[in-house]
Amino acid sequence: MSEIRTIADKFDGMIKNNHIEKYSYTLSQSEKQELNLENGEFKLMRTLFNNNGNIKVFLGSKMGAVGGNDITDEGLKKLIADGIAAAESAEEDPCHDIAPDQGKDVFKQGALEPDLDKFIERIKEFLDTVAKDFPKVRIMASTGSYDKWNWISRNSNGTEFEGFGGQYYFSIEICATDGEKTTGLDYTGFSTKTLDKPFIEMADIKEKLTNIELSLNPVALEGKFEGTILMTPSQAGGFIAMSMFNFASSGGIIDGTALWKDKIGEQVASEKLSVALKPFDERIVMGERATASGFRTEEADLIEKGVLKRHLLSLYAANKTGRPVLKNSGFDLVVEPGDKTFAEMLASIDKGLLLGGFSGGQPGANGEFSAVAKNSFLIENGKIKCAVTETMINGNLADVMKNITAISKEQICDGGGVVPYIAASGVVISGK
Amino acid sequence: MLQDIIRSKTELFADGVQTVLRGHENRQRSVTLLKGNLVNNGRSEAKGISARVNNNGTYGFASIAEYTPEAAEKVIKAATENALFLGRHSGRNIVLPASLGTGFIDLNDTIVDTEQKQIIEACKALDSYVVEHCPNLTSRTISYTEDSQDRIVYSSDAFSGHLVTPRCYIYVMMTAETKDGTPVELFKALGGYGSFHDNFDNLEQYHSDIDDLYKKIMDKREGVFAEAGYKTVVLGGMMGGMLAHEAVGHTVEADLVRGGSVAGPSLNKRVASDLVTMVDFAHTYNGERAPLPVYLDDEGTKAVDDVLIKDGILVGYMNDRETAQEFGMQPTGNARGWGFGDEPIIRMRNTCILPGKNTVEELISSVEDGYYLIDSGNGQADLTGEFMFGVTCGYEIKNGKLGRALLDTTVTGVAFEMLKTVDMVSNEVTWSSSGFCGKKQRMAVGMGGPHMRCKIMIGGR
C-alpha cells in the first residue's frame, strides 16, 4: 500500500469523526530533482520534497475549499477544521457540487523511476551540439528536471482515483550574440517520459536555435499594413487557448460576456480548423486522468471543422447555467494537421510575418489584441526577408480564428500539446 | 506565524562552504464574487524548510514540506550532497564572496489571520456598493486575495533574521458593453501591505476609487482605437512604475546582464534623459515604509537601496552575492525566493523612477496631439530593453486637453532609447504592489513612478 493511501485512510477516519457527509479531497506527495544551468554551465542542483492536501467541505449547499502542504495528523486535522469554517462562512449555493460515483481506478503514467545519469548525459550532449552547430547562440539559462508524484483523490459519492506519474522536463532560455550585437530572448521546452532521442531533436528546439541566430540584424518596420501572420506551433497553440478561455470558458459563460456563449453548433472558425483535448493521445506525456470536480477525464472535441462543439465548463458553471459539464479540466491540446507543408504555406504569403513570439497581455472579453511580435520575421513575396524589431500586431482573436487560410501538415509536440503551423490573414502589422 | 525551531541546526553548517537555512511559510486566502455569486472561497498554507550550500560557485539546494528540526537536518545534508554531486559535472570554480558583516534582524511585523466570514462580508459590502452606484454594467467581480510570506533565515557568514511580508487586496473588476455590444473591462486593486484589518476595516475609503473606476469604464464604452504609430504621450504613474520594472529593471538584474543584456555595455553611459533617476528601494521611501519592504534577502544580505540610474546615467545593477563580486559592486539584498522550495534568485523590490518638478496638469496641457496612458494590465521586456505594456486605460490628448477614452492597446519601445525622450516629469509618484513578477518563480514586487512626457510606439488599428 502506498504511503499516500495510508494517509488517505487516516484522513477518511478524521472526516467521518467530524460528521462531514459531503466532501471531496486530493492528497499528494511529489519529488523534484532539478538541474539549473547558467551560461551553459551547471550551477545549481535543487531537490524538492513536497506534499499537498486540499479538501472541499459541503455543509448543505455551502462549500468551503482549503489546502496546504502539511499532511501530518496535525495538518490534516487543521485542513478539516479550516474546511468546516470556510463552508460555514459561505453562501447557500446548490450549484457547488461534486461528481457522482466514478468508480475506483489506479493510473500509472510516464517514467516512474528516473535515470539521472542518462539525463545529465543528454544535457551535456545538447550543450556540445549547440556549441558546434550554433556557435552564436548563448544558452543563458536552462533547466532540466525530473518530477514524480503519487496522488489520491476520493469523494463522498464513492469515487477513488490514485495516480503515479513521472516525467523529465527540459527548457532553454536563449539569445544570440555576435560581437556587440545581441538578439532578444527566446524560450522553449518540452516534457518527455523517455530519454531515447537527443534533445536537439525534441519539440521545436532546433527551429528556435536556428531562428535566434538569424535574428542578429533585425529591422524596425516603418508604417503599417494588413497582412498574414504565419504562427509557429507554440504561437498557434497560444491563440487557440486564448480564444477558448476568452470566448467559451466558465467565467464568461456564467456572467454572459463570452462571445461564443450562444455559438454551440455554429461556425466560429475556419472550416480548416479542428481542435480537441486528447489526454489519452500517446504523444501527450502526462494527460489528465481525473478532473478538478472528480470526473473521470474524457476526450473532448472543442472545434470540429470550424464549428464550436462545446464550452469549457466546470461543474459549478454547468450547474449555474444549465449547460453540460466538460469532463476535462486539463488542456491537452491536439490540433489536426492541414494539407500544406510549411514551405508551401510560406510561399503563398505575399506580405506578412512569421510570428515566433507574442508579447502582450491576455486579450479582453472582446478579443481585441495588441502585442509586440517577438522572435519574428518579415515575409514578402513568399520568402522570409529579415528579422523584425519594434513591430506590433493588432487584431481580434475571433477574426483570427475565422481568417485561418492554411494549416501545416507538420505538427510540433512538446509533450503537453500537438499543434501545427497556422496562417491567418487580416492582422494589422505596424512599425514606427 | 513561524516559531524559530531551526536556530540550533546552524551547528551543522559545514566549513569551507556558504550555507543558508530558511524556514518559510506562504499563506493564501481567496474569495471571489462573480456577479454576486461566491465562486471561490479558499484558504491554503504552504510551509517548509530549505537549505542552500555554495561550494565554490556550485550550488546545492534542498527543501522539504515539513517545518521540523529533523527536516532542517535533512535539507542541510541533501543540499551539501547536491553541491558536491553537481561539482563533479560543472566547470564552475569561484572564490566565495566575502562576508559583509553578521547579525540578527528582528521580526519587523506580524501577520494577523482573519476569519473567512469577515472576508466574504467585506467583498459583499463592496459588491453591494457597485450594484447600487454603478448601473449599466454587464458584469462585475469582487475578488479578495491575500498572499503573505513569513521567513526565518540563518546564514553561515552573513546576516540572519525573521521577516514577514503581509499583503492583501480586493480587486474590483467591471465589464460594460459598447454600443455595438462589444465588452470592455477595467479593474482596480484596493489594499496593499498589511493584514485584512489594516486594509479593509474601513471600506468606505474605497468608494471614491470605485466611483473613479466606474467613470472610466463608462468613458471606455465610448472608446476609440488608438492610431498606431510613434506618438507623444503622457505616461501615468502606474505606467511609469511598469516602465521602471519591466523596461529597465529586468535589464539591470545582474544575472541577465551576465547573459548579455543591453545594460552590460551601457554601464556608466547615458541611457536616459537627465530628468530620469531610478532606484530599487529596499524598505523605505521618503521616510515612510515602501510598498513591500525587504529588510533581509535569502542569502543573508541586509537590504539597502540600490541606485540604478542617476540623472540619466546607468550606475548600477541589482545583484546577488556572486554577481556583486563579479561586477565589483555591493550586494544590496535582491536575492529572494517566493516559496519554501524556491532557491533565491535576483529579484526587484520597490523599483521606482523618482519624481521631477512639473505638475500633471502641466504635462497634459503641453501635448498638442497625443495620448494620456493611465493604467497597464501587464508588461514584458527583453534583454535588448525592448518592452511591451498592455494599456487598459487611456485618453486622447488634443490641444492640451483630454479627449475620448481609448480601447485596450499596447505600447512598445526600446528602454534606453525611449527614456532619452523623457522631457517632463511630474512631482508625484504612484506606487503599486498588487502584482507578481515572473522569472522562473513568482515574486511580489512594488513598483512606482511619476507621470512622464515621452515618445513611444503605440499599437492600434
Tens of pLDDT, residue by residue over A196-222, are 999 999 999 999 999 999 999 999 888
**Angle (nearest 5°) at CA A357 between A356 and A361:** 155
pLDDT of residue B382: 85
HSE, side-chain direction, 13 A CA sphere, residue A40: 14
Phi, psi of A200 (to 5 degrees): -60, -25
Average pLDDT across chain A, whole number: 95
Residue B461 has what pLDDT?
65
Q: Are A285 and A418 within 8 A, CB to CB?
A: no
CA B128 to chain centroid: 31
* Least confident window among A152-156, B47-51, B267-271, B376-380: B376-380
Domain residue extents for chain B: 7-221, 229-458
Select the residue of B265, B388, B407 nearest A372 (Cβ to Cβ).
B388
Note the pLDDT of residue A1. 57
Question: Would an 8 Å CB–CB cutoff place A217 in contact with chain B?
Answer: no
| Helices marked H in B108-192 | 116-133
CA separation for the pair A359, A375 (Å, rounded): 10
- Region A3-213: CATH code: 3.30.2290.10
Give mean pLDDT, residues A43-71.
96
- Nearest alpha-carbon partner for A403 in A379, A427, A424: A424
Query: B residues 280-339 near A, CB within 8 Å?
Result: none
What does the alpha-carbon distance between residue A23 and residue A15 come to, in Å, rounded to a whole number? Answer: 9
State whether B48 and A93 contact (CB < 8 Å): no
- What is chain B's alpha carbon radius of gyration, rounded to the nearest angstrom? 23
CA distance B193 to chain A (A): 23
Q: How confident is the model at residue A390 (pLDDT cuts 50, 70, 90)?
A: confident
Nearest to B119 by CA among B45, B31, B195: B31
Best of B17, B121, B267, B382 to substitute, by most chain A Cβ atoms within 10 angstroms, is B382
pLDDT for the residue A46:
97
| Residue recorded with cell 540563518 | B154
Q: Phi, psi (5° rounding) for residue B190?
A: -110, 145
- The CATH H-level superfamily of B7-221 is PmbA/TldD superfamily (3.30.2290.10)
Kindly determine whether residue B255 and residue A362, on different chains, have CB atoms separated by under 8 Å.
no
Beta strands in A305-350 (DSSP E): 307-308, 333-335
Compare all CA atoms of chain B with the CA of A67 and give the residue at the minimum distance.
B44
Which one, of B251, B274, B421, B265, lies nearest residue A432 by Cα? B421
DSSP, collapsed to helix, strand or coil, labels residue B37 as: strand
Specify whether the CB–CB gap between A43 and B90 falls below 8 A. yes
Residue ranges of the domains in chain A? 3-213, 220-430
B401 Cβ neighbours under 8 A, 6+ residues apart: B364, B365
Strands annotated E in A325-391: 333-335, 351-355, 357-359, 368-374, 377-380, 383-389
What's the burial of A290, exposed, middle or buried (CB within 10 Å: 0-12/13-18/19+)?
buried
Rounded CA separation A200/A207 (Å): 9
Quote the pLDDT of residue B13.
96
> If you ran DSSP here, which 8-state letter would residue A35 be given?
E
Instruction: Give tens-digit pLDDT for B15-56.
Output: 999 999 999 999 999 999 999 999 999 999 999 999 999 999
Which of B:362-391 have CB within 8 Å of A? 377-378, 380, 382-384, 386, 388, 390
Q: What is the pLDDT of residue A365?
A: 83
Chain-centre distance of CA A94, in angstroms?
Answer: 31
CA distance B108 to A351: 59
Structure confidence by residue, pLDDT tens digits, B82-131: 999 999 888 888 999 999 999 999 999 999 999 999 999 999 999 999 99
Q: What's the rounded Cα separation, in Å, for the pair A27 and A71?
A: 8
Considering CB atoms only, which of B40, B384, B459 is closest to A394?
A: B459
B410-429: average pLDDT: 95
What span, in angstroms and rounded, lies between the C-alpha atoms of A42 and A61? 53
Q: Please name the residues between 278 and 337 in chain A that touch chain B, using a CB distance below 8 Å.
A: 316, 320
Q: Can you tell me which residue has the cell 501527450? A: A284
Largest CA distance in chain A: 73
Residue B404 identity (one-letter amino acid)? R
CA–CA distance, A138 with A130 (Å, rounded to integer)? 9
- Supply B404's cell numbers: 475620448
H helices then E strands: how many in chain B?
Answer: 9, 27
pLDDT at residue A354 tops 60: yes
CA B167 from centre of chain: 12
Q: Taking residues B183-198, what's their average pLDDT? A: 96
Of all residues in chain A, what percent carry a pLDDT higher than 90? Answer: 90
Q: Which value does ipTM take for this structure?
A: 0.89
- Chain B interface mutation, best of A35, A177, A185, A261, highest count of B Cβ atoms under 10 Å: A185
Q: What's phi and psi for B123, nearest 5 deg?
A: -65, -40
Task: Report the alpha-carbon distance of residue A312 to residue B38 in Å, rounded.
Answer: 19
Q: Which of B17, B39, B232 to mutate to test the interface with A (most CBs of A within 10 A)?
A: B39
Chain A, 138 to 197: residues with Cβ < 8 Å from chain B are: 138, 140-141, 143, 173, 175, 177, 180, 182-185
**Structure confidence at residue B285 (pLDDT):** 97
Residue of B18, B124, B410 to mutate for A, most A C-beta atoms under 10 A: B410
Q: What is the DSSP string of B343-389?
A: PPEE--SEEEEPP-SB-HHHHHHT-SEEEEEEEEEEEEE-TTSEEEE
Cβ–Cβ contact A370 with B under 8 A: yes
Q: What is the pLDDT of residue A181?
A: 85
Q: Which of residues 102-121 of A touch B (CB under 8 A)?
A: 120
B253 to A175, B48, B382: CA distances (angstroms): 16, 28, 12
Give the model's confidence band at A432: pLDDT under 50 very low, under 70 low, under 90 confident, else very high: confident
Other Cβ atoms closer than 10 A to A220 = 12
Tell me the CA distances in angstroms from A414 to A31, A284, B88, one per residue in order.
Answer: 22, 8, 30
Give the pLDDT confidence score for residue B182 in this predicted structure.
85
Q: Rounded distance, CA A414 to CA A422, Å? A: 17
In this model, does residue B440 exceed pLDDT 90? no
Of A14, A50, A64, A394, the C-alpha closest to A229 is A394
B307 bridge partner residues: B279
